[in-house]
Structure 1
Amino acid sequence: MSLRPRHVRTKLGELNCHVVDALPEGATPELVVVLSHGLGAPGTDLVALAPELMTAAPRLASSVRFVFPEAPLTMEHLGMGGGRMWFEIPMEYLMGQKRDWAQYSQAVPAGMPAARRALMSTVAALQVPLNRVVLGGFSQGAMMSTDVALRLEECPAGLCLLSGATVARDEWTAKARARPSLPVFQGHGRQDPLLPFQEAERLRDLLTGAGMPVEFLPFDGGHTLISEELEQLAAFLVKRLDGR
């Protein structure tokens, strides 16, 4: 399949975003998929996923618009000029000196409420019903997407968590109970050195404990994406088109 998707950088709500689709000019998407990058990545980090997903499931090319928000905070002060982050993570975690994620996940990270407001403003600016919006992301972007999906006024169409983990555990646990019908796709590497695999299992258990149907894909690998994961994500998005 030969794809010629459009790629436009624009501001949606408070955030600069990269918008990618292969829809006919002026067509309204059946589904909008908002994918948020991880800590330290540039805003363009996940943009290449759009054509990959369209190729894996050609129906997405004629039905879906992909939106990739840029996190609001720069990492220039850490010597990463092109890198961005949704909220700050303590330096001992970034440097690998501390990995007690079970303890870290209890609290609401400093800066997360502001990032939540910014990402919610982007979702509102899409001007489509929430039951036609899928939220997702990689690593810290997965954390932000989970936080927003649990707090929106209405349940979104789906949630895609790529190498994510839990934060704000008590708040998420309480709010997840109001989202039992939210379909979730979750992938995570068993050898992830940054967000340990057991944290992915804890997140899965939090969501399934609230009644959510979670498609969980463990794979042999680290803090990364693999082709099987993208194929299953594409299939998950097709199901969201059919389940609307």
Structure 2
Amino acid sequence: MNDYTSRHTILSLFVVTFIMMMFTSPAQAQKKDAKPKVEQPKEVWNHIKQERFGRYRVHIPKGAAAGKTYPLVMLLHGNGNAPELMLRLAHDLKLDSFVVVCPEAPYVKITETIQTKEERYTAMADAIGLPDSLLPVAITTSADWYFNVLLDAQRTLPVNMDIKPILIGFSQGGFYAQVLLTRHPDTFRKVVTVSASMYTAGLVVEKLPDVASSDVEILMAHARLDPVVPFQTGELLHASFDAAKVKHTFIPFDGGHWPTPEVIDVIGKWLK
């Protein structure tokens, strides 16, 4: 091959390559250069039961004498509250002669805690994204925690074991008070619920027949204008207790979610 032919061949190859580049779209070029997509693994939460430490507030009667024991009362706070709220209620109820315990609900409501700069707790595991399918198990877990608080108080505090304890619950705490009542019907002397919420997964209504034969005294109070837990919830519970022939006192009152001073006075006298 002479120099002319060689130069002609090289020139022809250059022209062909240039024409191919001209007729190749940017999209085609990118497609050729693009690396195959690697599908990223999905990140999800899995939930399992956990054993850990919790805590509860304790109030011992002032001037408690060594060796003397006192009746026990446990108060359960509502969703987004903390034990301090129930300690104030115990003070308003004049429970000065009782050993008072107020457990923290097991889950921290992180967003509300940050926003209010105050600790906010709940006994419902939706605070950590637990699916509804596990709600019955989650309710049992929280109820067991509350019951363990009661047992620990009886074991470690100056509690009179000859007198059954009293249980008081507000809002979500009222629901859990009813869960404990129906699962341990012979444990308590008196049970008070104020503005109690209701979750069917707790099986409260289904277990009411177990309470009918016990000697526990029950008082339920619910405001007609409750903006958080509708009054109809209180009426439904009242009707369910009646249908199961569970003796109880139902107090409808005018007010909001928190009990009025008049209702607190009525409850205080009823407890005595």
| Same structural fold, with TM-score higher than 0.5 when normalized by the shorter chain | yes
What's the counterpart of residue 165 of structure 1?
197
Pairwise mapping of residues 30-49 of structure 1 onto structure 2 (< 5 A)?
A: 31-49=71-89
The one of 16, 19, 22 equivalent to 2:62 is 22
Q: Distance between the aligned counterparts of 1:195 and 1:73, measured in 2?
A: 21
Asked if 2 retains the 8 angstrom alpha-carbon contact of 1:109 and 1:167, the reply is no
Q: Distance between the aligned counterparts of 1:170 and 1:84, measured in 2?
A: 19
Question: Rg bigger for which structure?
Answer: 2
Asked if 2 retains the 8 angstrom alpha-carbon contact of 1:15 and 1:72, the reply is yes
Q: In 2 relative to 1, CA 14–136 (structure 1 residues): closer, same or farther, beyond 3 Å?
A: farther
What's the counterpart of residue 138 of structure 2?
111
1:175 is aligned to 2:234: no
Offset at residue 198 of structure 1 (A) = 0.6
Q: Distance between the aligned counterparts of 2:139 and 2:163, measured in 1?
A: 24
Offset at residue 145 of structure 1 (A) = 1.1
Gaps of 5+ in 2: 1-51
Could you list the structure 1 runs, at least 4 aligned residues long, displaced by more than 6 angstroms after superposition: none
What's the counterpart of residue 187 of structure 1?
221
Q: CA RMSD in A?
A: 2.7
What is the DSSP-based 3-state SS (H/G/I as helix, E as strand, rest coil) of the residue aligned with 1:18? strand
Q: Distance between the aligned counterparts of 1:150 and 1:134, measured in 2?
A: 14
Gaps of 5+ in 1: 1-12, 55-59, 91-103, 239-244
Q: In 2 relative to 1, CA 14–230 (structure 1 residues): closer, same or farther, beyond 3 Å?
A: farther
Pairwise mapping of residues 52-67 of structure 1 onto structure 2 (< 5 A)?
A: 52-54=92-94, 60-62=95-97, 64-67=98-101
Equivalent pairs, count: 205
What is the DSSP-based 3-state SS (H/G/I as helix, E as strand, rest coil) of the residue aligned with 1:66? strand
Pairwise mapping of residues 1-244 of structure 1 onto structure 2 (< 5 A)?
A: 15-20=54-59, 21-22=61-62, 24-26=64-66, 27-29=68-70, 31-54=71-94, 60-62=95-97, 64-78=98-112, 79=114, 82-88=119-125, 111-127=138-154, 129=161, 132-152=164-184, 154-168=186-200, 171-180=203-212, 181-238=215-272
TM-score by length of 2: 0.67
Q: Distance between the aligned counterparts of 2:126 and 2:238, measured in 1?
A: 22
Matched letter for residue 115 of structure 1? S
What's the counterpart of residue 98 of structure 1?
none
Q: In 2 relative to 1, CA 117–138 (structure 1 residues): closer, same or farther, beyond 3 Å?
A: same
- Structure ranking higher in helix proportion: 2
Matched letter for residue 69 of structure 2? T
% identical equivalent positions: 24
Q: In 2 relative to 1, CA 177–153 (structure 1 residues): closer, same or farther, beyond 3 Å?
A: closer
TM-score by length of 1: 0.74
Offset at residue 110 of structure 1 (A) = 6.2
Matched letter for residue 17 of structure 1? Y
Q: Distance between the aligned counterparts of 1:108 and 1:179, measured in 2?
A: 23
What's the counterpart of residue 21 of structure 2?
none
Q: In 2 relative to 1, CA 154–15 (structure 1 residues): closer, same or farther, beyond 3 Å?
A: farther
- Report 1 or 2 for greater relative contact order, CA contacts < 8 Å, sequence distance ≥ 6: 1
Q: Distance between the aligned counterparts of 1:67 and 1:22, measured in 2?
A: 15
Q: In 2 relative to 1, CA 222–110 (structure 1 residues): closer, same or farther, beyond 3 Å?
A: farther
Q: In 2 relative to 1, CA 23–233 (structure 1 residues): closer, same or farther, beyond 3 Å?
A: farther
Matched letter for residue 61 of structure 1? D
